Structure 1
């Protein structure tokens, strides 16, 4: 494998530890040359070991092996990686406190997903992990932690995020609503919960340093790695493609006036200072989709009808429709057990391919208009399906509403979880024991 597997973990992945194969930094050891592991940070009830930090740093270095110049100086990189480890440790602890659990089967499924993303079998994935000098058991623990964090995220935002029709209507009707998509990168200089004037001044100074570095010719992704406090900093701050309606309005106004390659000045937001770069943009298009018109007869097994009898009944009805040319609608009213369509002669109306389930969708696509499919079995019974017609329909308005709902939900969820992380971090007991790894602006061991 050409790229480290760390690049292909779940979307919430961070460079977490693989302590079983850690490469330790040399340390003073009494009576020998063998390096000893040590605790570098205490995080509430847990600890982070030097070996964990070393392995996480090595993972980041592997990701940037082809372009190491984008990484910040080693002391800065170590502090950034340690901060990510601390945040991951806190989230895992909170998930455990809330009784969130991940089973072996869940991890197996995650391993299979990572393997598929890398075009491998799970066995090949295991070999690739171990060929990089890593423990596969530790790799599984890393995936398990990521699943815990994702479930914690879902729990946190579930009760806090609601979207009303009025909010959707207001967004679509707003003069500031902007369609289209943009590919963004960002640098976030965060503020702690309850930030003081000194905190704000320090963050503003750091944001100005990042802005000046970019103006001086530093690559934006390299600047993100060096200066950003966001969880995606070590990925160069790449936000990927986002719809304009997903961007907070204050930032959308700035982005809408930019051209590809432009960089904003430092923008003050509720969580700190943000610097945005517009990578690319694309305009919206009409959402034309194929709809199908069909009708069906459904024969279900029951206490009085065995599965074999249901199959035979479906075959008999198919023969009466196709070979004896009996009226489909009349037979549907008499024999179909689908409560939603039987009284309408089996008419299913106009629908998208997946609206009636995968099997119905697969068969309706393969049929020609006015053709009847041979009986096929689903989990609920035997279907006789006739396609009546197809049409292209403009679903732009419906899609816009769905996208607006999703955008509002994503924005609220992102803000809610970001607030949760800031509060969690500021109220946690975190004591970095190694002086050179400490953030000079942060008080050690503080628990508010």
Structure 2
């Protein structure tokens, strides 16, 4: 049930925007975030789910007051992202939430009812769970909009990445520990952060703690509670400043201290693999056509849903899909072709569209579903395995570089948003030193 535990953790951490369903007579405030609050009960639920995830490995966790601060900081960031999304008009409907929950249940090979019982047994009401999934989808949509406006990849970058891939097909499984620095850090803050990262490196060099446990305890990165795991990356997904270093690291090796734009880092090479061992470079492509009823300032979500339901009923009653698309679809690129989208990969039109096309059989028409563009019906006309050609390779490399750029830009955006927000913690000891370092940071080992 590892995926379910991860889902439950996400549910608890995404509860910042949820009103408590059963408020106790007295429920303290854990933090004030701009004009909103995070309740003590919300923090306790999130904290308990972290402890559940680390059952049997509690020694890897930091002291409780430090763990509380880590979890609360995640809740603060989630709260800020959901508020920013709401301010920019991002909305997620009930049907989209239902589809996401059904997907979670299917991944864990349980029914929705069984998933609801599991959620309840771990101390989260089903209503809170639904609202937390809604917040997660909202944040995903905010991130997608951010990518469209902030991230671009040039032909020169794609050419350089393709050349690098030809020289080395290796992929690297990495983890990291971040000791963050604020924007415009003072010399004193830099010195304190450097002392902290050197102390962490000393613990690792002396074998007093493994890398994942050190990341959980000391890292300032949002993925600290995952042991700092960065997953598998090719060279074009690694910042240029670190690529040469990573290429020469052995599995298990920990880098020297690195200074990046967000602070000091330690990298661990977990393992390596040759991407060429994966076999033929084949992808599944789908041939489909769709009808779109767009949601915009002049067409409400409810009106668009009513129209797509009517069109779906016509098609189910025997109307020709292509004719209905030509008459009613709001997609100008495919309307004149009867909604025909040609051949495409599952992720080409976004995750919501991809989830629908992969769930259908050839010749089957979907029920109405929602994407950021509006309401759709899609018909899957065929599927095939295709060898990825030069154009697709360029597209894949572009997507890879775009993900890396998005990660950098998104983390910078989160730091800026966090720095501009009013946040008042109401738990734990007084604020840490101005550098933001945890009070239990290890000191560097002395020679004497």
Mapping 1:357-436, distance limit 5 Å? 395=388, 397-398=390-391, 400-436=393-429
SS at match of 1:53: helix
Mapping 1:290-369, distance limit 5 Å? none
Q: C-alpha distance in 1, partners of 2:284/2:85?
A: 44
Contact 2:9 2:49 in 1 (8 A): no
Q: C-alpha distance in 2, partners of 1:114/1:290?
A: 24
SS at match of 1:436: coil
Contact 1:79 1:438 in 2 (8 A): no
- Residue 393 of structure 1: CA displacement? 8.5
- Residue 124 of structure 1: CA displacement? 1.0
Closer, same or farther in 2 for the Cα pair 1:291/1:379, shift >3 Å?
A: closer
Q: C-alpha distance in 1, partners of 2:283/2:49?
A: 46
CA-to-aligned-CA distance 1:236-280 (integer Å, 9 cap, x gap)? 111222222211122221111011111112211111122111111
Q: C-alpha distance in 2, partners of 1:204/1:141?
A: 40
- Pair 1:65 & 2:65 matched: no
Contact 1:20 1:134 in 2 (8 A): no
Q: Give the one of 136, 144, 154 matched to 1:164.
A: 154
Q: CA RMSD in A?
A: 4.1
Q: Give the one of 275, 284, 289 matched to 2:275.
A: 284
- Residue 396 of structure 1: CA displacement? 6.7
- Residue 11 of structure 1: CA displacement? 8.3
Q: C-alpha distance in 2, partners of 1:397/1:410?
A: 20
Contact 2:193 2:435 in 1 (8 A): no
Q: C-alpha distance in 1, partners of 2:50/2:32?
A: 22
TM-score of the aligned structures, taking structure 2 as reference length: 0.70
Contact 1:22 1:52 in 2 (8 A): no
Partner residue in 2 for 1:52: 42
- Residue 176 of structure 1: CA displacement? 11
Q: C-alpha distance in 1, partners of 2:28/2:14?
A: 19
- Residue 140 of structure 1: CA displacement? 1.1
Partner residue in 2 for 1:231: 222
Partner residue in 2 for 1:263: 254
- Pair 1:134 & 2:88 matched: no
- Residue 415 of structure 1: CA displacement? 1.4
Instruction: Provide structure 1 residue ranges, at least 5 long, that are not aligned to the other structure.
Output: 25-33, 293-306, 311-337, 340-347, 364-377, 444-448
Q: Give the one of 433, 436, 444 matched to 1:440.
A: 433
Closer, same or farther in 2 for the Cα pair 1:40/1:133, shift >3 Å?
A: closer
Q: C-alpha distance in 2, partners of 1:431/1:227?
A: 22
SS at match of 1:66: coil
CA-to-aligned-CA distance 1:277-327 (integer Å, 9 cap, x gap)? 1111111216354999xxxxxxxxxxxxxx9999xxxxxxxxxxxxxxxxx
SS at match of 2:114: helix
- Residue 399 of structure 1: CA displacement? 5.3
- Residue 172 of structure 1: CA displacement? 2.7
- Residue 403 of structure 1: CA displacement? 3.1
Partner residue in 2 for 1:368: none
Contact 2:62 2:216 in 1 (8 A): yes
**Which range moves more in the overlay, 7-16 or 405-414?**
7-16
Q: Give the one of 262, 265, 282 matched to 1:274.
A: 265
Q: Give the one of 74, 98, 107 matched to 1:108.
A: 98
Closer, same or farther in 2 for the Cα pair 1:9/1:408, shift >3 Å?
A: farther
- Residue 442 of structure 1: CA displacement? 6.0
Q: Give the one of 167, 184, 193 matched to 1:194.
A: 184
- Pair 1:243 & 2:237 matched: no
Contact 1:22 1:55 in 2 (8 A): no
Q: C-alpha distance in 2, partners of 1:91/1:309?
A: 43
Q: C-alpha distance in 2, partners of 1:308/1:47?
A: 53
TM-score of the aligned structures, taking structure 1 as reference length: 0.70
Partner residue in 2 for 1:446: none
Closer, same or farther in 2 for the Cα pair 1:198/1:14, shift >3 Å?
A: farther
Contact 2:175 2:230 in 1 (8 A): yes
SS at match of 1:8: helix
Instruction: Provide structure 2 residue ranges, at least 5 long, that are not aligned to the other structure.
Output: 286-316, 321-336, 349-356, 364-377, 437-448
Closer, same or farther in 2 for the Cα pair 1:94/1:360, shift >3 Å?
A: closer
Q: Give the one of 201, 217, 220 matched to 2:211.
A: 220
Partner residue in 2 for 1:344: none
Mapping 1:23-62, distance limit 5 Å? 36-62=26-52
Q: C-alpha distance in 1, partners of 2:344/2:91?
A: 37
